[in-house]
Amino acid sequence: MSMKADPTAHKPGRYQVVADGHASPLLVLFVAIMVFLAWTLSNVVLLAFGSVLVAVLLRHLARILSYWLPLPIGVSLTLVVLGLALLASLFAVSAGARVAEQFDLLWESLPRAVARAREYIASYSWGRDLLEASGPRVGTLVNLATGLAGTLVSALTDAVMVIVVALFLAADPDPYRRGLLHLLPVARRARGAEVLAALDQGLWHWIIGQSIAMLCIATITAAGLMLLGLPLALALGILAGLLNFIPYLGPILSAAPAVLIAFSQSPAHALNTLLLFVFIQNIEGYLLTPMLQRRAVAIPPALGIFAIVGLGALFGIYGVLFATPLLLVVMILVWMLYVEDRLGGADRPADSEAAR
C-alpha cells in the first residue's frame, strides 16, 4: 500500500530560524552581528536617526500645507523646503553678520570671565579653600557648554548629510516603510504598521513642541538679557535656544556662560542673570512644555536625565543630542509591543495620545 506525503505536513525550511519555540543559532548570530555593527557605527546610526527626525518634521509640514491647499504632497514638500530655506536666508542677511560677531566675542570673553570669577572667589578665605579643593574642575561646566556649542557649529558636514538624507526620506518614505514591514511575518505586518504610525506621530508631536519651545526660549532669553543690559545678548539667547533641545541639562549649560559674562560686570548682574534664567525655565517647565507637548508621550524627568547622561557617556555629543527622542521611541515600543501585546495592557496613560 503506497503512502502519499501529506502536503500540509511541516517541512523544515532551508533558512529556518525558529525551532521548537527557540531561536536558532542563525537568528542569534544575526542579531549579535547587527548589535555589533550598530555599536561600531554608532555615530552613523545616530546621524541616521537625526535624518529621520528632520524627515518627520518636513513630511508633516508638507501634509499640513497639502491639507490647506489642494496640492500634491511632493509639491507641498518642495514649498516647505523652499520656505524654510528662504527664512534661513533672510535671517542670515538681516542678522547673520551680527550673530557671527557676537559669537566670536563670546568665545573670546568667556576665558576672561572665568578668570574674573576665580579672582573674586579667591578674595575670600572660603573661596580660596574652595578653589584649592576643586582645582582644575572649576569652570568644567563652562568648558562643557562652550565645547558643546563649538561642536554643534563645527559639525557642519554631518548636518548637511543629515539634511540631504532627510530630504530623500521625506520625499518618498514608502519604500523604507515597506522594507521594514517586510522584515516581519505576514501576520504581524498590520501591527507593525500601527507601531510605525505611532512612532511617526510621537516624534512629530515631540519635534514640533520642542522646536517652538526652543524659539520661545531664544527670544525670551535674548530680550531679557537686553533689558538687563548684558552684552552679547543675541548670541547668548540663540545659544540658550539651541541648548534647550537637550532637556534638563541644556538650560544649565546655557545659563553658565551668561552668568559668567554678567559676573565680569558685577556680582549683582550675575545674580540678576541667574534669576532671569530660573524665571525663564519655570515658564518653560510649567507653561510652554505642558502646553506644547500635551499630545506627546510624557517622559519622566528621571528617565530623561539618565538617558542623556548614559547615552552621552556611551556615544558622546550625538548621544546627548538624541537621547530624549530615542527614549521616546523606546517608551512607545515598550508600551505597544510589550505592555499591550505581551501583557495585555488595555488602559494607556492619559498623556500618551501620540501612541494611540
Q: Summarize pLDDT for 101-117 with one digit per residue, the tens.
A: 888 888 888 888 888 87
Alpha carbon distance, N-terminus to C-terminus of the chain: 59
Match 532551508 to its residue by C-alpha cell: 14
Residue 145 inside a domain? The answer is: yes
Closest CA to 58 of 201, 166, 160, 157: 166
What is the rounded CA–CA span in Å between residue 159 and residue 148? 15
Residue 132 inside a domain? The answer is: yes
How high is the mean pLDDT of the chain? 81
Domain range enclosing 324: 97-151+173-355
Closest CA to 180 of 165, 167, 192, 162: 192
244-247, long-range: CB within 8 Å, 24+ apart, which pairs? 244/210, 244/213, 244/214, 244/217, 244/218, 244/284, 245/210, 245/214, 245/321, 246/308, 246/320, 246/321, 246/323, 246/324, 247/299, 247/304, 247/308, 247/324
Residue 289 inside a domain? The answer is: yes
Per-residue pLDDT band for 169 (boundaries 50, 70, 90) equals: very high
Residue 293 inside a domain? The answer is: yes
Q: What is the mean pLDDT of residues 11-20?
A: 45
Residue 7 inside a domain? The answer is: no
What is the rounded CA–CA span in Å between residue 319 and residue 323? 6
Residue 5 inside a domain? The answer is: no
The pTM is what?
0.79
pLDDT attached to residue 15: 43
Reported as a single tens digit per residue, the pLDDT across 124-148 is: 777 666 666 655 444 444 555 555 5
How many structural domains are present in the chain? 1
pLDDT attached to residue 195: 93
| Cell numbers linked to 20 | 521548537
Residue 121 inside a domain? The answer is: yes
Lowest mean pLDDT among 69-83, 220-234, 331-345: 331-345
pLDDT attached to residue 356: 40
Tell me: pLDDT of 13 over 70. no
What is the rounded CA–CA span in Å between residue 233 and residue 146? 16
Lowest mean pLDDT among 170-179, 210-219, 343-352: 343-352
Residue 18 inside a domain? The answer is: no
Tell me: pLDDT of 58 over 90. yes
**Helix-, strand-, coil-residue percentages of the chain, each rounded to 5:** 80, 0, 20
What is the rounded CA–CA span in Å between residue 155 and residue 50? 13
Reported as a single tens digit per residue, the pLDDT across 263-272 is: 888 888 899 9
